[in-house]
Structure formats: C-alpha cells, structure tokens
C-alpha cells in the first residue's frame, strides 16, 4: 500500500545516510539486508542512485549503462470491456498512430476470443496485437484461447496462468501457437533463472517495480540473453520520471525488443519536468542530459506529505 511504502521509504532512507552513493551495489545490499521484498519502494532508491551516478559521470543514463540511443516505440493498452467497446478503443488507438496494441484479457475463453476477433476486424491486419491475460486462465483455457487467436497476428501473450504455476506455463508454451511472456511470474533474478531453466516462456517482461530497479533488471536481462530470451520493458502506473529511467534502460540494452511505456497516457496531471517525451504519441524521445533527465515540479512536491531523514 502507499502507507507501507511510505513507512518503508523512511526507514530505508536512514540506512543510506553517510554512505557513498556511487557504491550502488553496497547501498542496495544494505536495503536488502534491512528489509526483504518491497521491490517497488526499493526501485525508487535504485533509480535515484543510478541517476546520481550518471550525473556524476556527466553521462545520460543510457550511456552510463553502456549503451546507445535507439528508437523506442511504445504500445498502448486496451482494458477489458465488451468486444465492441474494445474494438472501438483499438480503432482510436490505431488512428492516433500506434504501431502495436496491448489487449487485456483473462475472463473466460469464449469472451476473450471474441474480444481479439472484434479488435482484429476493426483495425485490420497490419498492427500486431499483444495480449495480456494477467493470470486469468487455467492451462486448458490458455491453450484454447491462444490457438484460436494465433492466426490474427498476435505477437505474444503475457502471463496466461497463475504466477506460481511454472509447470503449466511451460506446458502452455509447448502446445500454444502464440509466444509467451512472463510478467507476474518474474520479479527478480531467481525467477528468471527458474523460467529459463524450464524453458517456460519466450520473453521476459521487466518492470522496475517488480525487480527493485535497474540493478536487478540488468541481472534479469543478462540471464535472458544467455538463455536466448528477448525482453520487454513494462510499467505499472509510473509517472514520466519512472518511465524516463525505464526508457534509458531499454535504449541501452539491445536484448530489449518490446516497449510498454504508456502509463503517463492515463495520468490527469503531469508534474514531471524534462525527462522523456512522446513524439507522434508513441515514439519515446530520450534526453541527452546527464542522468535520466527528469525531475519533479517543486510546486507539486510542496503539496505532498513529506519527511526529513537524519
């Protein structure tokens, strides 16, 4: 919850007082020793440390991570509704210039098939559809849906079964004709190792809010690359500040092939100064300023609850 994240942030911040912020590994290890899990709040400290280190090196973050600036085009997400309503949303997204559409599924198999069919009929054949079941199917339903929609240019399906059901995830991959992507089954490097060992998926969805930030995301990508698994970079509900760090990471690593960085589209307000921008709505533009390049409007921060650490 926000309350537990806020409380954890207060305690974790105290641990970093007096530490060398350029010792990213040491700082993050201190956080992990003090508190298990809590990847989301830890990711804030991780991103801040990498931002500071890149600024100290006078490099944009993508360069600090050893990469270069590459084209990034995000998809846009359609949420579960009646097939006709989802088809209307898809058509609007296509008309805005989207090059890929992410479609939420996971209710029941016949309805989900109708949703994909309606969307494909509405938008034509040129734009790939990326489905996300959010753990909503069992093994049988997953295979039924995915084989039914396979001919409709479905690029992959995220998390067809429960996050803990690694065995059936691997079975779905064996019998379904749509590639699979791990999301809720993949938090940290140990999950990546297990998924790679089982050959359970074709792709990894890396989210800093799951991994705990950039440091673990780099480890996950290394495991994926060694196993021949491509990655996508995804998001929860981050502002453009968080998305800026995500975009630098994605740009730096050639193994990242898919981009789901659309959460700012849903925000009523944008308190972020500088950082990434969206050209033609979907093309992510990364700044060359040192660090990730984003900051928060001080006027917005003054409205927020705050604490001092000493």
Which tokens go with 133? Answer: 């079941």
Token digits of residue 74: 């995000």
The verdict on whether 125 is a catalytic residue reads: no
Instruction: Provide φ and ψ at 278, rounded to 5°.
Output: -115, 115
Contact 217, 243 (CB under 8 A): no
* DSSP codes joined into one string, 20-43: -TT-HHHHHHHHHHH-SS-HHHHH
Given the residues 42, 94, 102, 104, the one annotated as active site: 104
Strands 230-233 and 154-158, bridge-based pairing: unpaired
Provide CB contacts within 8 A for 287, sequence distance 6+: 60, 244, 274, 275, 276, 293
Active site residue 158: yes
**b/e per residue 195-223 (b: at least 16 CB within 10 A):** bbeeebbbbbbbbbbbbbbbbbbbbbbeb
- The active-site residue, picked from 158, 165, 238, 260, is 158
- How many other CB atoms are there within 10 angstroms of residue 114's CB atom? 16
- Of these residues, 155, 165, 183, 191, which one is catalytic? 183
Residue 183 is a catalytic residue: yes
Q: Does the annotation mark 104 as catalytic?
A: yes
- Confirm if 141 and 109 have CB atoms less than 8 A apart: yes
Known catalytic membership, residue 132: yes
In angstroms, rounded to a whole number, what is the distance separating the alpha carbons of residues 190 and 203?
16
Please identify which of the residues 94, 207, 238, 262 carries the catalytic annotation: 207
Specify the pairing of strand 180-182 against strand 203-206.
parallel
DSSP, residue by residue, 192-225: HHHHHHHT--SEEEE-HHHHTSHHHHHHHHHHHH
d(CA 53, CA 20): 10
Alpha helices in the chain (DSSP H): 2-15, 24-34, 39-56, 61-64, 83-95, 109-123, 139-149, 166-175, 189-198, 208-211, 214-227, 240-252, 298-301
Active site residues: 104, 132, 158, 183, 207
């Amino acid at each position: 919850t926000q309350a537990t994240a806020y409380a954890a942030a207060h305690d974790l911040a105290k641990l970093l007082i007096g530490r060398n912020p350029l010792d990213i590994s040491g700082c993050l290890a201190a956080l992990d020793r003090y508190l298990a899990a809590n990847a989301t709040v830890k990711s804030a400290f991780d991103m801040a440390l990498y931002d500071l280190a890149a600024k100290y090196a006078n490099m944009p973050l993508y360069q600090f991570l050893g990469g270069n600036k590459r084209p990034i085009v995000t998809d846009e997400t359609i949420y579960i509704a009646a097939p006709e309503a989802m088809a209307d949303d898809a058509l609007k997204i296509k008309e805005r210039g989207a090059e890929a559409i992410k479609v939420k599924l996971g209710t029941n198999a016949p309805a989900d098939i109708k949703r994909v069919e309606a969307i494909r009929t509405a938008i034509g054949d040129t734009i790939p559809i990326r489905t996300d079941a959010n753990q909503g199917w069992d093994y049988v339903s997953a295979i039924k849906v995915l084989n039914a929609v396979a001919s409709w240019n479905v690029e992959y399906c995220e998390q067809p079964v429960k996050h803990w059901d690694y065995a059936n995830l691997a079975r779905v991959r064996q019998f379904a004709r749509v590639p699979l992507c791990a999301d809720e089954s993949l938090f940290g490097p140990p999950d990546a190792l297990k998924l790679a060992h089982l050959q359970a998926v074709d792709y990894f969805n890396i989210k800093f809010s799951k991994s705990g930030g950039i440091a673990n995301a780099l480890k996950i990508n290394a495991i994926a690359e060694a196993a021949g698994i491509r990655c996508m970079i995804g998001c929860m509900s981050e502002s453009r500040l968080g998305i800026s760090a995500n975009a630098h990471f994605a740009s730096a690593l050639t193994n990242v092939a898919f981009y789901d960085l659309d959460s700012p589209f849903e925000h009523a307000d944008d308190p972020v100064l500088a950082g990434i921008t969206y050209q033609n709505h979907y093309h992510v533009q990364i700044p060359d300023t040192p660090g990730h390049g984003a900051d928060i409007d001080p006027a917005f921060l003054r409205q927020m609850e705050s604490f001092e650490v000493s």
